[in-house]
Structure 1
Amino acid sequence: MFVALGFEVVFASCAFVYTRRLMRLGSLPLSDELNSYQRALRKLRKGEPMSQDEWNLAERIIDIRRSPLAYSVPLSFMTMGIFYVFGSLEYLHGHTPSERTFLGAIPMFTATNLIIQMRKSARLKKRLGKATIVEPDAETGPLQFSSASS
């Protein structure tokens, strides 16, 4: 239980540092719109043409979720659940555990889901170089297509 508490302190401290870094990031033009993150990642996942602002937003989301410090947030949830389960088991002194003892499994499942979702979006990094960026041209009117690698 005390080892889990030690890991909880370490991961919670890392999560605090990480969220402070995220709060200092400047906002992008599309970042304040409703569902803009999901829309940008969906376009990237499906290979649809994107605007430069959507591409920049998708790049930032992927970079944020690929950071090693980003995993400290779900890991702090995981160690919180482990601490709760071990603490409940230690409190029982060998008696039969109840359902309340295993309430700590809920943050463990949540942390597992968060890690899986972060890995799914981090894998989109390969698609960023192949994305098609649509740029409006003021002189001719129609949209010009270009590759993200140019």
Structure 2
Amino acid sequence: MFVALGFEVVFATLAFVYIRRLLRLRTLPLSDDLNGYQKALRKLRKNEPMSRDEWNLAERILDIRRSPLAYSVPAAFMTIGIFYIFGSLEYLHGHTPSERTFLGVIPMFTSTNLIIQMRKSARLKKRLAKATVVEPEDSSPAALVPFG
């Protein structure tokens, strides 16, 4: 239990540092729009033409999600679940565990889902190099130029 607590402190500290870095980033033009991130990533997934702002936003999202420090957030969730389970088992002193003991599984499932979603979006980096950027001045098919 104390080892899990030690890892929790380390991962929570790294997550704090990572989130502080994210908060210091300047905003991009489409980042404040409703569903701006989702629209940019959807266009990237479907290989649809993107504006320069959408491409910049998609690049930022992928860089954020591919950062090794980004994995400290789900790791902190995982270790808090492990800490809760081990702490509950130690508190029972050998008695039969109840359902309450296994509430720590919920943050563990959450962290697993976060890691899967981060890896899924990180795979889009290959498509970013092949993405087509449309200049806003001329939206004719001749304006489609590969960017990368």
> Which bin holds the TM-score, normalised by the shorter protein?
over 0.9
CA RMSD of aligned residues (A): 1.0
Aligned structure 1 segments of 4 or more residues deviating by more than 4 angstroms: none
Q: 5+ unaligned residues in a row in structure 2: which ranges?
A: none
TM-score (structure 1 length as normaliser): 0.96
Counterparts of 1:47-126 in structure 2 under 5 Å?
Answer: 47-126=47-126
- Which stretches in structure 1 are left out of the alignment for 5+ residues? none
In the TM superposition, what is the alpha-carbon distance from 1:148 to its structure 2 partner?
Answer: 1.0
1:17 aligns with 2:17: yes
User: In the TM superposition, what whole-angstrom CA distance separates every residue of 1:52-78 from its partner, at most 9, and x where no partner exists?
Assistant: 000000000000000000000010000
Structure 2 counterpart of 1:145, one-letter code: L
Asked if the contact 1:44–1:124 (Cα under 8 Å) also holds between the matched residues in 2, the reply is: yes
For normalisation by structure 2, the TM-score amounts to 0.97
> How far is the alpha carbon of 1:136 from its aligned partner?
2.5
Q: Is the CA contact (8 Å cut-off) linking 1:136 and 1:142 kept in structure 2?
A: no
Partner Cα distance (1:6, 1:97) in 2: 24
Q: Paired residues, what number?
A: 147
For residues 98-124 of structure 1, the C-alpha deviation after alignment (integer angstroms, 9 at most, x for no partner) is 000000000000000000000000010
Identical-pair percentage: 79
Quick one: distance in 1 between partners of 2:97 and 2:140? 68
Query: 1:146 & 1:137 partners in 2: Cα distance?
Result: 13
